[in-house]
Amino acid sequence: MLESAAMGAGGAGERPVRVGMIGLGCAKNLVDAEIMLGYLTQQGVEITNELERADVVVVNTCAFIDDAKRESIEAILEVAELKRQGKVRRLVVAGCLAQRHGEELAAELPEVDAFLGLDELERIGEAASGALGREHLPMQGGAWKLYDHTSPRLLASGGVYAYLKVAEGCDNPCSFCQIPAIRGRFRSRRPESLIAEARRLEEAGVRELVLVAQDTTRYGEDLGLGRDGLRRLLEELLAKTSLPWIRFLYAYPATLDAGIFPLMRSEPRLVPYLDLPLQHCSRAVLKAMRRGGDATSYRELIERARCEVPGIAIRSTFIVGFPVEGEGEFEELEGFLEAVRLDHVGVFAYSCQPSTPAAELGDPVPARIKERRRRKLMRLQERIARERLRKLQGHRAVVLVEGASEESELLLQGRLASQAPEVDGRVLIASGTVAAGDLVEVRVRKTYAFEVVGDVVGVVQVAPRAASALPGTGRTATAGG
């Protein structure tokens, strides 16, 4: 146990150390945070969501783009101020920013007590207790370790859904991305390890399993499983668990196994959802990004997915303002989005990273033009999303209940199979008595661009109440009062 004496707060017998965590970045980073929380819990630490009640605060940082770095630094400074006020005793910085820029951070942020790299998650207890000090810095260069089912996890997602990290690192040559330099070479986990973790998550009450990696569709290539490694893993997960929903995110177009489509069509538990981070459609821009494909090949892939899996929801992300993107290339992208009418889209302004190959191209597109282009595409997508969701009005749809809504205890919230956690919107349930983890039938009475409102009219599958040992599951609630 990390005793309060280790914090200079008194002798044995006092309360355990309280640790709070600020988690930033992607789903892969969230899994790292959950592993650190798992190790802390094993050592008898009390986890708190209230930073001002914490003895130690861990900031798990992101370093993908400038906005993410800025958000991470702001979070660190926020905790540093709490430390200055005497409300927090110790500040630990972990994650991608610590891995990539540990030396710089140590020089500029004397308020930080310890830095922890991506290969040191199991040392979070040392960092929190003070056994690991400022003199320790993460080893520079890309990470190499692969955490597996033997690592403890404390789910931060509330327990209705959980991410399963199937691989780590990336071998793709994208010129704008520094993930390979931070997370290292692509390396897959063994199938038996993933099955064991999936079963453990199911026993804990998880109802939706979301497979993630930097390049999820390349899973298993390094294990000799060939190009259909992800499909074989999905088949095993479907056969060896009873999880009602399984989905995967981050499908690289060039490595997507088309054999997944028949599996998705025939297996209702593999939700009809495809996340394709295309980044652009102009061949000139994609060539400069060191990515394959173009508008024609991407359109053919989307059409094939929709043909083979009727009703499939497709999501993508795009970058505007890349150095070679002129008005013509942007208009091509705008026309592409208008034509393919995706269900969900994220648009990001290009962020030049000095350590990437794209930095040699400079950053010629002004920030105001990047932002104008980003807003224009998001307005277009908002209209498309609103029109697509409007077709649900008056119909029934299956919803996975997540719990009380963030805005009001009188409303519950959940998601359609077409909505991935955290990124695709939600369903607000205005009336009905259900529990987090239940699959219910909802009659849709109103839709917006990113939200659906409806009432429970039936229960499809009740979540196992006894299995729930995680926050947010097994709790019955009534919407509407």
CATH number at residue 62: 3.40.50.12160
Same domain assignment for residues 411 and 370? no
In the chain, the amino acid numbered 349 is A
Whether 123 and 44 share a structural domain: yes
Angstrom distance (rounded) from CA 65 to CA 27: 15
* Domain match, 255 and 331 both: yes
**Same-domain pairing of 223 and 367:** yes
Residue 369 within a domain: yes
460 belongs to a structural domain: yes
Last residue of a domain, one of 390, 416, 433: 390
In a shared domain, residues 284 and 346: yes
Decide if 156 is inside a domain: no
Same domain, 422 and 322: no
Long-range interactions of 302-310: CB distance < 8 A, separation 24+: 302/276, 302/340, 302/342, 304/258, 304/261, 305/261, 305/274, 308/258, 308/261, 308/262, 308/264, 308/265, 309/261, 309/264, 309/265, 309/272, 309/274, 310/265, 310/272
Same domain, 361 and 442: no
Share of the chain above pLDDT 90, in %: 78
Q: Which helix (H) or strand (E) holds 211?
A: strand 208-212
Residue 401 CB: number of other CB atoms within 10 A? 29
- Give the tens place of pLDDT for each residue, 144-200: 999 999 999 999 877 899 999 999 999 998 999 988 889 999 999 999 999 999 999
Residues 414 and 372 in one domain: no
Amino acid at 170: C
The four Cα atoms 101, 107, 113, 115 give a dihedral, to 10 degrees, of 20
Number of structural domains in the chain: 3
Residue 151: inside a domain: no
- How confident is the chain (481 residues) per 10-residue block, as mean pLDDT? 37 74 91 95 92 92 86 93 92 92 89 94 94 86 91 88 96 91 94 97 95 95 94 98 97 92 97 97 97 96 97 97 97 98 97 91 96 98 96 95 84 94 92 88 94 93 60 41 39
Domain of 441, CATH number, reads 2.40.50.140
In a domain, 271, yes or no: yes
Q: What is the span of the domain harbouring residue 418?
A: 396-479
**C-alpha closest to that of 355 among 100, 110, 153:** 100
Report pLDDT for 467: 39
pLDDT of amino acid 480? 53
Give residue 35's pLDDT.
Answer: 95
106 & 166 share domain: no
- 154 located within any domain: no
pLDDT of residue 450: 92
Query: What's the pLDDT at 28?
Result: 92
| Same-domain status, 365 and 437 | no
Task: Classify residue 142: in a domain, yes or no.
Answer: no
Cα distances (angstroms) measured from residue 42 to each of 25, 30, 122, 198, 461: 25, 18, 11, 20, 33
CB-based contacts of 18, cutoff 8 Å, min separation 6? 45, 46, 47, 48, 53, 54, 55, 56
Beta-carbon contacts of residue 190 (< 8 Å; ≥ 6 apart): 148, 223
Q: Which two tokens stand for residue 450?
A: 């990113």
Same-domain pairing of 211 and 101: no
